[in-house]
Amino acid sequence: MACTVVVGGQWGDEGKGKITDILAEQADLVVRYQGGSNAGHTVVVGGEEFKLHLIPSGILHPDCTCLMAGGTVIDPLVLRDEIEGLKARGVSCDNLRVSYTAHVVMPYHKRIEELAEQARGRGGIGTTLRGIGPAYTDKAARMPRPVRFRDLTDAHRLRELITGQLEHKNIIIEHQYGQPPLTVDEVFQQVWPAAQEVSSYATDGHRLVQDSLRARKRIVFEGAQGTFLDLDCGTYPFVTSSHPVAGGACLGTGIGPTAIDEVIMVTKAYTTRVGAGVLPTEDEGDAGQLLRDHGHEYGTTTGRPRRCGWLDGVVARTAAMLNGATSIAVTKLDVLDSLATIPVCVGYEIDGVMLDIVPSWPEDLEKVKPVYEELAGWQQPLGDMRKWDQLPSQAQAYVERIAELAGVPVSIVSVGQGREQTMLLG
Ligand code: IMP
């Protein structure tokens, strides 16, 4: 492992946090490259559960530096609470850094998103309401100058930037949504106490990454969300506003594509999605409920029940291509323990034509009929197994079929939440 990207191969919640934590053991630097507090990464160590939204999943390894890169968006209130929560549990966070250039999620972003989603009603995106879309929108708009992480070190500058932003935001809040405007004082008062606490983590993120590359340090780039939530490659418009795909690691951190040695695509043994948008293998009946119950498929960030369905081989193949995946980490294989047979989608049929990759036009994807193959289940608990050879032949065949469908070998198999419930395949 020199430079490894960990990327979600589906619609998020694949278990990237656990895989990043494991790789962090051997890493010098873990870098979150996109997204913000919309993410929810769970890491379980010695039966203790840590839920991380912003902070990279390497934070539990004190010798590993953790950077939130310029491609992320940071809510200072969430960051402060997350740091305090970790410190209260004995995690120092001295190894945390945040890039100067990361954009800041401000209270007006959350307010505008809440009003916009309410106005859209059932036609909404079903976002996490963490202000992510509006913060990235301001980043792309460039003027008036949005707040970036380094701006949090200077009260005068922060107040000036809030003043400039509210001149525009209040037009939307008052005139588009008929709601009372926000005042500069209230926004400043909300943010400044948290800003004072978190701004000491600010650093030149580009320099940190470039210096680490030059020193041949081992770096893990941690993606949030998943391939099909990518703004460009996902099921638009039901996507997030950043770039979870492996290429996003280049943009979000300022490295060239040739710096990446490995791309580990994390793929759950079945499929889930939160929020609106197409999900070809969704099962809205008892089977979906079984996956939800056994997999504890409720959002880490919002608590919403996740939509569940069978593994989609077309999604796996397409994601492997979009990410240039070099291997796959299959997670939550144990969730399927009780099933006698397991359907796996091996192709899509649309108007009598078979497709082997996901069509890029989402309305076409809505029309596809998944073609299933039934694989034999293993009907025994996998949670205590530690080696590939201990897995029942049916479970091995299931994992091998995923590799075959994706066209990429499997390097990691996870059979439970704990660090120890992980098989690293040679
Ligand atoms: P946003 O990222 O809050 O703008 O939400 C856009 C879409 O991405 C919604 O469907 C969310 O449910 C989904 N989403 C955002 N973050 C995550 C995540 O970490 N896991 C799964 N879905 C997510």
Query: Tell me, what's the pLDDT at 69?
Result: 98
Full domain range(s) for residue 189 = 103-200
Ligand 1: which of 113, 117, 127, 136 to mutate, judged by most atoms within 8 Å of the beta carbon? 127
Catalytically active residues are: 13, 41
For residue 295, what are its two tokens?
């997999």
Query: Tell me, what's the pLDDT at 362?
Result: 87
Is there a domain that residue 186 lies in? yes
For residue 12, what are its two tokens?
């998020």
| Gap from CA of 63 to ligand 1 centroid (Å) | 31
Asked if residue 13 has its Cβ within 6 Å of ligand 1, the reply is yes
Is there a domain that residue 157 lies in? yes
**DSSP per-residue codes, 256-305:** -GGG--EEEEEEESSEEE-SSS--TTB--SHHHHHHHHHTT-B-TTT-PB
Question: Strands 41-45 and 48-52: what pairing?
Answer: antiparallel
Is there a domain that residue 379 lies in? no
Alpha-carbon span 313 to 331, nearest angstrom: 15
Is there a domain that residue 130 lies in? yes
pTM for the complete prediction? 0.97
Protein residue with least CA distance to atom 2, ligand 1: 240
- Which residue's structure tokens are 């078979």? 354
In which region does residue 379 sit, left (phi positive, over 0), alpha (psi from -120 to 50) or beta (all else)? left
Q: How close are the terminal C-alpha atoms of the chain, in Å?
A: 13
Query: Tell me, what's the pLDDT at 302?
Result: 84
- Which residue's structure tokens are 């098989």? 423
Query: Tell me, what's the pLDDT at 1?
Result: 59
| Gap from CA of 299 to ligand 1 centroid (Å) | 10
Domain count, the chain: 1
Task: Give pLDDT tens digits along the chain (426 positions).
Answer: 589 999 999 999 999 999 999 999 999 999 999 999 999 889 998 889 999 999 999 999 999 999 999 999 999 999 999 999 999 999 999 999 999 999 999 999 999 999 999 999 988 999 999 999 999 999 999 999 999 999 999 999 999 999 999 999 999 999 999 999 999 999 999 999 999 999 999 999 999 999 999 999 999 999 999 999 999 999 999 999 999 999 999 999 999 999 999 999 999 999 999 999 999 999 999 999 999 999 999 988 888 999 999 999 999 999 999 999 999 999 999 999 999 999 999 999 999 999 999 999 989 999 999 999 999 999 999 999 999 999 999 999 999 999 999 999 999 999 999 999 999 997
| Gap from CA of 275 to ligand 1 centroid (Å) | 7
User: Phi first, then psi: what are they for 165, rounded to 5°?
Assistant: -65, -45
Query: Tell me, what's the pLDDT at 156?
Result: 98
Q: For residue 292, what are the CA distances in angstroms to 273, 304, 331, 369?
A: 11, 11, 15, 22
| Gap from CA of 226 to ligand 1 centroid (Å) | 9
CATH number at residue 154: 1.10.300.10
Is there a domain that residue 78 lies in? no
Is there a domain that residue 406 lies in? no
Alpha-helical regions (H) of 263-408: 286-294, 313-323, 362-367, 393-406
Is there a domain that residue 134 lies in? yes
Asked if residue 24 has its Cβ within 6 Å of ligand 1, the reply is no
Asked if residue 39 has its Cβ within 6 Å of ligand 1, the reply is yes
Query: Tell me, what's the pLDDT at 303?
Result: 87
Is there a domain that residue 165 lies in? yes
